[in-house]
Structure 1
Amino acid sequence: MCGIWATFGVDGGLSATCIKCFSSIVHRGPDAWRIEQDAREPLAIFGFQRLSIVDGLHGMQPMRLHTYPRTTLICNGEIYNCKRLQEQHQFPYETKCDVEAIIHAYQNFGIAETVKKLDGVFAFCLVDGEKRKVYIARDPYGVRPLFRFHDADNDVLAICSEAKGLVGLKQKASKNSTLGQFPPGHFQVWSMIDNGKVKLDYTEQYFKPGMPPRFLPFVPEEDLQKMDVYEKTAHLLEAACKKRLMAERRIGCLLSGGLDSSLITALVVKLAKEHQLPYKIQTFAIGMGDSPDLAAARTVAEYLGTEHHEVQFDENDVREALDNVIYHLESFDITTIRASLPMYLLSQYIKKNTDTTVVFSGEGADEVAQGYIYFRDAPSTSAGHDESIRLLSDIYLYDGLRADRTTSAFSLELRVPFLDIQFTSHYLSIDPKLRQPQNGVEKHLLRNSFAKSGLLPDSILWRHKEAFSDGVASVKKSLFTTIAEIIAERYKDEEQQYEGVQPTTTESKYYRSVFEKTFSGQHNFTPYYWMPKWVQVTDPSARFIKHYAAT
């Protein structure tokens, strides 16, 4: 996890505004920074905020290689198949940094084939000085963030890991300018026309959720042929964790005590022992008072023998963090903000009190494996499958965004095995009937895949899904009730019309008012409020779905 920033064609070059924009993402990479102006293209500027995970000596960016001195790369990402690409194609690596593979792949195969050959998560900008081309690309599910600013009237392009690094440029731009997230699974090609100015050539989508890998798979297909669907599921999820152990910093796990985080933690602990990592895996749980999640996480940690950290938070912590969470999220979505508060506070604790830098998490499981309670109301198996695809297509706007921003706010690097390409391709290809909730149990197939493994106690493997607000909060009082009380203290409910989706509750109006202070007019950052499908509810919390009380 790092922060990337670049501008092309901004008049005035490396101005005070640019420096301020670049500095706003320092939390993404506190270990080192570099900002430089291209001598041959004075209006092309590259900035990099580094969090050192692999190759602390040679991994600084912008990256240029002796073999290709006119090619410049800035990338926030991890390329898990970097060594396999080197072995396959005899790439003459100059560093131990995994993202070097991008430059070699581009020079040998071009940009369209490069993005398909990468097994990893990434957001990058690559400039070919000889061809005078600029390439922008983002990983298939948008695990790594990327924003793009374009002023068409002035032929200006800028990119950044977060929108806060670009809003200052938009304020000084023409009315015909846009700022928004660069879509996952896409790349763009731009031509440099004069003095760093650029024109868009074309945009191409290279991935849609469920597509099979077009790189050499981490697990060879012949190894999977004799396995049944349950064995294959378990094997591929373990493989997804294994490839993500690539790190020179300490690894830990976010552990809520729910199925998803508990499975990932169990697999990471198993693999850490096999790889003889020189430390115990740390696990981190957070809750208010007598939170059910704290109790469940404690059970998992004791079973696995982890170095467990339990963080208690209260109303004062929520009160202090709420506005900061909205600033870091760059979203006004109700569900995203609620769910981000504990994750933000937990990340803050990890940064201040431990030496863990890489954190594994269970994000993506609900989208891939039909884990939300409302999936029980799917009118057909095909409708359930289509909803999984929709959720995965938009995960970068909601749960994926939450997971990245709350951890990166405190310079942690997130790893999400459930969004592995080989795993998601397999899981989404299974008969949709098997993927549906069975007998009122969501993610039945996933649970069954580990039923005989002994990785987790049955009480955890088959634990019902809590509404998030109930799981993390005290039994006596839900988190969103606490939030509502805090907002009532500080906000006078006023009717105000905004562009885009309209807030209708006091809570949503407050979130929008805080969002507008920094990201005025950027309603496109949150195109719709996340809500469960097929059920009639006015609040996105799962506790309002009819099935919830029966779980």
Structure 2
Amino acid sequence: MCGIWATFGVDGVLSFTYVKCFSKIRHRGPDAWRIEQDAREPLIILGFQRLSIVDGLHGMQPMRLHCYPRTTLICNGEIYNCKRLQEQHDFPYETKCDVEAIIHMCHRFGIEETVKNLDGVFAFCLVDGEKRKVYVARDPYGVRPLFIFQDTEAQVMGLCSEGKGLMGMKQNGGENSTLGQFPPGHFQVYSILENGKVKLDYTKQYFTPGKPPQFVPFVPEDKLAKMDLNEKIAHLLEAACRKRLMSDRRIGCLLSGGLDSSLITALVVKLAKECNLPYKIQTFAIGMGDSPDLIAARAVADYLGTEHHEVKFDENDVRESLDNVIYHLESFDITTIRASLGMYLLSKYIKENTDTTVVFSGEGADEVAQGYIYFRDAPSETAAHKESIRLLSDIYMYDGLRADRTTSAFSLELRVPFLDIQFTHHYLSIDPKLRQPQNGVEKHLLRNSFAKSGLLPDSILWRHKEAFSDGVASLKKSLFTTIGEVIAERSIDEDAQYPGVQPKTTEAKYYRSIFEKSFPRQHNFIPYYWMPKWVQVSDPSARFITHYAAK
């Protein structure tokens, strides 16, 4: 996890003004920073905030190689098949940094073949001074964030890992200028014009959820062909964890005690022992009072023998953190903000009290494996499958965004194995009927795939679904009730009118008012409020769904 930032086509005083916005993403990379202006292209400025995970200063960016001196790369990401690409194509690597593969791939095969052949998560910008081209791309599920500012009339562009680093450009941009997220699974090509401005050549989508990998897969397909369905699912998820262990920094796991985080933790602990990591895996759980998550996470940690940390928070922590959470999220979505509070406070604890920097989590499982309770009400297996694809297509604006921003706020790097390309492809290609909830149990297929593994106790493997924002709260008092009490202490304009999706409750109006302070008129960041489908509820909390039975 790092932070990238760039401006194209800006000159004069405004250029200096925008550079000051570069510091807005300092939290993403506290280890080192660099900002450069190309001597031959003075209207191109590239910046990088580094969180050192693999390699030392040789991996510093903006990155240039001796064999391609006119090419410059900034990238926030991890390329898990970097060594395999080197072996396949005999690339003359100059660093130990995995993203170096992007430069070699682009020069050898072009941008489209490059993004299709990267097994990893990434948001990058590559400037080819010889061809006078700029290439921008984002990973398939948008695990790594990327925002883009465009003013086509002025032929100006800006890029940043977070929207806050480009708000200065937007506020000074033309009437038709835009600022929003760069779409996952896409790449763009720009031409650098003679006057130093940039012009978009074209945009192309190279990935849709469930698409098979076009790179050489981590697990050979002929090996998978010999496995039964459950064995294949378990093997692919373990492989997704294995490839994500690459790190020179300490690895830990976010552990709620639910199925998703518990499975990932169990696999990471198993692999850490096999790889002889020189430390115990640390696990981290958070909750209020008699939180169900704290109790369940404690049981998992005891079973796995991890170095476990419990964090308890109360209404005062909510009171102090709520506005900061909204600022870091760059969102006014109700579900996202509620679910982010606990993760934000837990990340703060990890940063201030431990030496863990890389954290694994279970994001993506609910989308891939139909884990939300409302999937029990799907009218058909086809509708349920389409809903999985929709959720995965938009995860970068909701759960994916939450996971990235709450951890990056405290300079942690997130790893999410459930969004592995080979795993999601195989899981989503299974008969849709088998992927639906069975006998009132969501993610039945996933659970059953690990039933004989001994990785987890049955009480955890078959634990009822618990939404994160509900699970961290007391059994007697929900988190959204506590949030409501905190908001009631504050004054808001109930009659305020906003463009875009309309807030209807006092809670939603408060979130929107805080959002507007830092991101005025950027309602496009959130196109709709996340809500369960096929059920009639007025609040997104799982506690309002008839099937809710978590304990």
Give the aligned partner of residue 501 of structure 1.
501
Partner of 2:213: 213
2:78 aligned counterpart, secondary structure: strand
Aligned 8 A contact 1:5 1:46 in 2: yes
* Residue of structure 1 equivalent to 2:534: 534
Tell me, what secondary structure is at the counterpart of 2:64?
Answer: coil
Structure 1 Cα separation of the partners of residues 511 and 550 of structure 2:
32
Task: Report the counterpart of residue 138 of structure 2 in structure 1.
Answer: 138
Structure 1 residue matching 2:172: 3-state secondary structure: coil
Aligned length: 551
Q: Which runs of 5+ in 2 are unaligned?
A: none
- Residue aligning to 1:361: 361
Q: Once structures 1 and 2 are overlaid, which stretch shifts more, 483-492 or 181-190?
A: 483-492
Per-residue Cα deviation, 1:276-299 (whole angstroms, up to 9, x for no partner): 000000000000011010000000
**2:270 maps to 1:270:** yes
SS in 1 for 2:58: coil
Q: Deviations over 1:242-294 (max 9, x none)?
A: 00000000000000000000000000000000000000000000000110100
SS of equivalent to 1:70 = strand
2:94 alignment partner in structure 1: 94
Amino acid at match of 1:495: D
**How far off its partner does 1:13 sit?**
6.8
Q: 1:300 matched to which residue of 2?
A: 300
Instruction: Name the amino acid aligned to 2:307.
Output: E
Q: CA deviation at 1:467?
A: 3.4
Residue correspondence of structure 1 range 518-533 to structure 2 within 5 A: 518-533=518-533
* Contact map agreement 1:14 1:45 (CA 8 A) in 2: no
SS at structure 2 position matched to 1:94: coil
Name 1:327's counterpart in structure 2. 327
**Structure 2 match to 1:129:** 129
Aligned partners of 2:342 and 2:469 also within 8 Å: no
The residue that corresponds to 1:467 in the other structure is 467
Shift of 1:15: 3.8
Alignment of 1:188-207 (within 5 A): 188-207=188-207
Deviations for 1:11-48, whole angstroms, at most 9, x for unmatched residues? 22784422321000000000000001000010100000
Calculate the TM-score normalised by the size of structure 2: 0.99
* Secondary structure at the counterpart of residue 63 of structure 2: coil
Partner of 1:245: 245
1:291-341 per-residue CA deviation (whole Å, 9 max, x = no partner) reads: 010000000000000000000000000000000000000000000000000
Distance (Å, rounded) in 2 between the aligned partners of 1:510 and 1:11: 38
Q: Which residue of 1 aligns with 2:36?
A: 36
Report the Cα distance in structure 2 between the residues aligned to 1:277 and 1:314, rounded to whole angstroms: 35
Which amino acid in structure 2 is aligned with residue 456 of structure 1? L
Q: Give distance in 1, aligned partners of 2:283 and 2:550.
A: 30
Partners of 1:550 and 1:290 in 2: how far apart?
14
Are 2:296 and 1:288 aligned? no
Deviation readout 1:218-263 (Å, 9 max, x if unpaired): 0001111110110000000000000000000000000000000000
Task: Report the AA paired with residue 286 of structure 2.
Answer: I
Aligned partner of 1:440 in structure 2 is 440
Structure 1 runs not aligned, ≥5 long: none
TM-score, normalising length from structure 1? 0.99
Contact 1:335–1:541 (CA<8 Å) still a contact in 2? yes
| Residue 110 (structure 1) aligns with | 110
Counterpart residue number, 1:60: 60
Aligned partners of 1:55 and 1:95 also within 8 Å:
yes
Partners of 2:344 and 2:359 in 1: CA distance: 13
CA distance in 1: counterparts of 2:418 and 2:549, whole angstroms: 28
Counterpart contact for 1:147–1:161, Cα < 8 Å: yes
Q: Name the aligned partner's letter for residue 285 of structure 2.
A: A
**% identity of equivalent residues:** 85
State the one-letter code of the partner of 2:273.
Answer: K
Q: Distance in 1 between matches of 2:49 and 2:492?
A: 39
Alignment of 1:484 with 2:479, yes or no, is: no
Q: Is the CA contact (8 Å cut-off) linking 1:468 and 1:541 kept in structure 2?
A: no
SS in 2 for 1:77: strand
Q: CA separation of 1:17/1:395 partners in 2, compared to 1, >3 Å: closer, same or farther?
A: same
Q: CA RMSD in A?
A: 1.0
Aligned-partner SS, 1:548:
coil
Show CA shifts across 1:389-426 (max 9, x none).
00000000000000000000000000000000000000
Q: Secondary structure at the match of 2:95?
A: coil
For the 8 Å contact 1:468–1:542, the answer to whether it is kept is: no
Aligned position for 1:8:
8
2:464–2:550 contact (8 Å) kept in structure 1: no
User: What is the CA distance between 1:57 and its match in structure 2?
Assistant: 2.9
- For 1:122 and 1:549, the matched residues in 2 are separated by 38
Q: For residue 463 of structure 2, give the secondary structure of its aligned residue in structure 1.
A: coil
Q: Which segment drifts farther, 172-181 or 234-243?
A: 172-181
Matched to 1:413, the amino acid is: E
Task: Please say if residues 493 and 506 of structure 1, whose CA atoms lie closer than 8 Å, have aligned partners that are also in contact.
Answer: no
Question: What is the identity, as a one-letter code, of the residue corresponding to 1:79?
Answer: I
Helix, strand or coil at the partner of 1:153:
coil
CA distance in 2, matches of 1:48, 1:299: 41
- Which residue matches 1:400? 400
User: How far apart, in 2, do the equivalents of 1:258 and 1:438 lie?
Assistant: 18
Compute the displacement of 1:194 (Å): 2.6
